[in-house]
Amino acid sequence: MSNSLTLAPAPRSEAAEQVRAEVREFLAAELAAGTFRTHVDTWLSGVDPEFSKKLGERGWLGMTWPKKYGGHERSAMERYAVTEELLAAGAPVAAHWIADRQSGPNLLTYGTEKQRQEILPRIVAGECYFVIGMSEPDSGSDLASIRTKATRNGDGDWVVNGAKVWTSNAHHSHYGIVLVRTSPSDSANRHAGMSQLLIDLSLPGITINPIRILDGGHHFNEVVFDDVVVPGDMLLGEEGNGWHQVTAELAFERSGPERFLSTYPLVAEFGRRVAETGDPAQLAVLGRLSARVLALRQMSLRIAAALDRGELPNIPAALVKDVGTTFEADVIEEIRKVVDVTPSLDSPDPLARALAEAQLHQPGFTLRGGTNEILRGIVARGLGLR
């Protein structure tokens, strides 16, 4: 295809297959020991700091980062293998997920030496968690309309006022990377005047209010900043460059296996059922779903390989997220058409539980990280239409 959506196939990585086997062995032992139970959508809902620390001890966090910050200097393909094994097993990875996926790379690109040395080794150890402060009550995907404001006071510190929403697991997290206005909004250039601040969430003036989702779970929050004084040296990157920084960050946010594996534990449970029944209609659905998983893996692996080459493939990443999150939601409908199971969070039947969890989490898949309509707009740009 002669457009900007195509990436070269990923080379095979023996190192990735080796670490995959190690993770599988680890997960089997943890499951056998009962330290976790498989769930759907665990990168949002599976907060378990002990588990995150174990992953840190195994060297499976900050995998691609420089050794001088505690990282392991491994390839994006190896990291990919680790993350998808964790997701496929429905392991509790939410505590560290954002820090490892996004905030760490963000600090590596834009952070000061002091910020990096102070924070990155703690992320690698599985002991420091982050939230993304992008959306606001009146700004969903329209990030350029944010109003949270930071102004310099006489000491050169930032005084932050405003509110961020959908901040996943803010109540368990240590820092937020928060997009703020540092200059008044300019209708001629909507993307100007924004900056990113690295904010310690224990600072006075920060209130974290829970926003519960459909299953009653508390993952999202509203984080309110009321005259919060943020030290002047906690600016991330360049003042006024916030929009560019956020856009670049999104390639990490949008391309990973978490964008198509959120409901994989339901597929796995369905697979167990099909193995038992041998039902031809169920087999056909499992085959169709599997073909979609395989295609998404290939697409996502191509992005991991591009990251290894030092590229930031924003447009293909938007496309993977669009196709992937649509799949995550479709899984539910495809499966329920061929099984006679009533979804229930309390059911003794694991398939009924997985269906219930997936259904109640489903509306989020195609919203978080940019709605699919926004993503398709980005893809359309890649097709040369905008």
What Cα–Cα distance (Å) separates residue 199 from each residue in 21, 150, 160, 177, 292? 38, 12, 10, 6, 40
251 binds another protein (CB under 8 A): no
Q: Which of 213, 268, 312, 367 binds another protein (CB under 8 A)?
A: 268
* Options 276, 340, 346, 348; binder of another protein; rule CB under 8 A: 276
- Applying the rule CB under 8 A, the residues between 47 and 86 that interact with another protein are 84
**Min separation Cβ 237 and another protein, Å:** 30
State the Cα torsion 213-215-218-224 to the nearest 10°.
20
- For 182-312, list the strands marked E by DSSP: 194-200, 206-212, 218-230, 235-236
Q: Of 29, 214, 284, 345, which lies in the binding site for another protein, with binding defined by CB under 8 A?
A: 284
Our finding on whether 200 is near another protein (CB under 8 A) is: no
How many CB atoms are closer than 10 A to CB 4? 16
DSSP 241: B
311 is an interface residue for another protein by CB under 8 A:
no
CB 278 within 8 A of CB 288: no
Distances (CA, A) of 102 to 62, 251, 348: 10, 9, 37
Counting residues that bind another protein (by CB under 8 A) gives: 53
Q: Which of 200, 287, 333, 342 binds another protein (CB under 8 A)?
A: 287
Whether 10 and 305 have beta carbons less than 8 Å apart is answered as: yes
Please, which residue, 196 or 325, has the CB nearer to another protein?
A: 325
User: Which range in 129-137, 139-147, 157-165, 276-284 contacts another protein by CB under 8 A?
Assistant: 276-284
Q: Per-residue b/e over 7-37, b at no fewer than 16 CB within 10 Å?
A: beebeebeebeebbeebeebbeebeeeeebe
Type of residue at 32: A
280 binds another protein (CB under 8 A): yes
- Minimum CB–partner distance for residue 5 and another protein (Å): 6
Task: Please give the Cα distance from 371 to 156 (Å, whole number).
Answer: 37
Tokens of 359: 């259904």
Quick check: 33 binds another protein (CB under 8 A)? no
Regarding 2 and contact with another protein (CB under 8 A), the answer is yes
Q: Considering the rule CB under 8 A, would residue 307 count as an interface residue with another protein?
A: no
Nearest-approach distance from CB 79 to another protein, in angstroms: 15
Can you point out the beta strands (E) in 58-165? 130-133, 149-152, 158-165
Question: Which residues, numbered 317-346, are part of the site for another protein (CB under 8 A)?
Answer: 319, 322-323, 326
Whichever of 203 and 268 has its CB closer to another protein, that residue is: 268
* Out of 283, 349, 350, 367, the residue judged to bind another protein by CB under 8 A: 283
Using CB under 8 A as the binding rule, whether residue 385 contacts another protein is answered as yes
Q: What is the DSSP letter of 199?
A: E
Which residues of the chain form contacts with another protein (CB under 8 A)?
1-3, 5-6, 9, 20, 24, 84, 88-89, 264, 267-268, 271-272, 274-276, 280, 283-288, 290-299, 302, 316, 319, 322-323, 326, 373, 375-377, 379-380, 382-386
